[in-house]
Amino acid sequence: MNALDQLQTPSDARPETPIMEIEHLRKLFPLRQINLFGPQRAVHAVEDSSFALYPGRATALVGESGSGKTTIARMLARLYDPTSGTILFQGKPVKLTRGAALRQYRRHVQLVFQDPFSSLNPVHSVEYHLSRPLRVYGHARNKREVTEQILTLLNRVSLTPAEQFIQKFPHQLSGGQRQRVAIARALAAQPEVLLADEPVSMLDVSIRLDILNLLLRLKQEEHLALLYITHDIASALYFAEETLVMYAGQMVEGGPSEEVIQRPKHPYTQLLLSAAPDPDRMDPNQRGLGTLPTRGEIPSLINPPTGCRFHPRCPYAMPVCRERFPERTDVGNGHWTHCFYYGDGGSNTEQPPLLNLAVPPTPRRKAGRTQEQPDYPEMKENE
């Protein structure tokens, strides 16, 4: 089955219950005190983030480096303790657990790291990497079962012939193959939730698609809940049903991917989209790349700007943006944003989208793809 069809089949539109709910999650990394009597300083990595993961659905978390997206994944994998907020797993809050309880939690929630070159131990074979989770989580009791399951796992991630890969060491594998081993290792625990932290950003462009399609297939087959962290907003549209945009630790926009990416509301999302490479924007009669609506970088999170952290770069900043962070405003179709421009809390579907940073200079389409309206079915709406 091909990946596109999977995306377009309305995957049981709205699954009953979320497997994981994250409420008001916050993370501060305390810094060493320079002045003993001075105020406690900290890196404000993640502020007040709430979202949910559903079985059989992928959620993309998009943002630049330093936006806190990896911190969220690591909190969900319980590598970091959140400063405040709750993580509900299957309706039950996850406590600050240690030992056996933590291991039990990690059986259900697995993390795939960004860099397959450093996430695999160079002195151990593929067999060892995959046998550890099988043994630790008690999925295999003896050597024969271990080997059997490893072969199945390798087949599931399309590392074939599996018999040849089982004895290989990481240095004998290419980047894409390593990432497949890393995914197989995560699957070995038989998780319900898979957190993928930029799983393809270290790989060649031609191999990325293979890995993404593999993850999509696994999501479908295993009914996995996927959190896909990326800085490539185009792949979020391709990969995930839902997209969340983060800026400097704050979640600024979210909703169905189609909505967020085709009709971006928050100025930062529009900036991200206008910066993404887009060959359709290419104009043979004109040189140059156009301009970006705004410059600058993510601010330091030790003393972040007050209020909405995007306001120093935002061309539409108002005085109120400096004072406090706006409440979540619904803009229809399950799409929400935190921006005073669209209101402050409640819902606002009437507001015409006046902000428009991301309009490309007359998109040029290929012959044969000229239809103005995309012909794929609308995504299922949330509400």
Partner 1 sequence: MADILVNGKQARTGSKTLLEVKHLSVDYLASSGVVHAVTDVSFTLERGEILGLAGESGCGKSTLAYAIARLLRPPALITEGEVLYHPRVRTDETGAPRVSTVSMPGKGPLARPGETEETIDIMTMSSSELRAFRWTELAIVFQSAMNALNPVMKIGTQIMDVLQAHRPEMGPDARKQRALELLKVVGIAPDRINSYPHELSGGMRQRAIIAIALALSPEIIIMDEPTTALDVVMQREILIEIMRLREEFDFSVIFITHDLSLLLELADKIAIMYAGRIVEQGTSFDLYEHPRHPYSYGLLHSFPTIRGPRRNVTGIPGSPPDLRAVPKGCAFHPRCPFAFAPCSSILPTLEPSNPQTPEQLVACHLYNTNLHPAGSPDEEEFAARYATLAERSKGR
Residues that bind partner 1 (CB under 8 A): 2-4, 7, 64-65, 155, 158, 160, 174-177, 204-210, 213, 217, 231-235, 237-239, 261-262, 271-282, 284, 287-292, 295, 297, 360, 363, 365-366, 368-369, 371, 374-376
The least distance separating partner 1 from the CB of residue 377, rounded to whole angstroms, comes to 10
Distance CA 235, CA 233 (A): 5
Q: Which is nearer to partner 1, 23 or 64 (CB)?
A: 64
Asked if residues 338 and 308 have their Cβ atoms less than 8 Å apart, the reply is yes
Give Cβ neighbours of residue 295 (< 8 Å, ≥ 6 apart).
Answer: 313
Q: Which is nearer to partner 1, 257 or 337 (CB)?
A: 257
The least distance separating partner 1 from the CB of residue 131, rounded to whole angstroms, comes to 23
Asked if residues 130 and 184 have their Cβ atoms less than 8 Å apart, the reply is yes
Distance CA 200, CA 172 (A): 19
Q: Tell me which residue has tokens 């972040």.
A: 304
Q: Which is nearer to partner 1, 72 or 233 (CB)?
A: 233
The least distance separating partner 1 from the CB of residue 340, rounded to whole angstroms, comes to 22
Give Cβ neighbours of residue 359 (< 8 Å, ≥ 6 apart).
Answer: none
The least distance separating partner 1 from the CB of residue 111, rounded to whole angstroms, comes to 22
The least distance separating partner 1 from the CB of residue 324, rounded to whole angstroms, comes to 25
Distance CA 208, CA 202 (A): 9
Q: Which is nearer to partner 1, 70 or 131 (CB)?
A: 70
Q: Which is nearer to partner 1, 72 or 273 (CB)?
A: 273
Beta carbons within 10 angstroms of residue 378's beta carbon: 11
The least distance separating partner 1 from the CB of residue 242, rounded to whole angstroms, comes to 16
Distance CA 192, CA 224 (A): 5
Q: Which is nearer to partner 1, 177 or 329 (CB)?
A: 177
The least distance separating partner 1 from the CB of residue 91, rounded to whole angstroms, comes to 34
CA-closest candidate to residue 50, choices 269, 338, 305: 338
**DSSP label at residue 221:** H
Distance CA 355, CA 360 (A): 14
Q: Which is nearer to partner 1, 141 or 364 (CB)?
A: 364
**DSSP label at residue 280:** G
Distance CA 278, CA 287 (A): 15
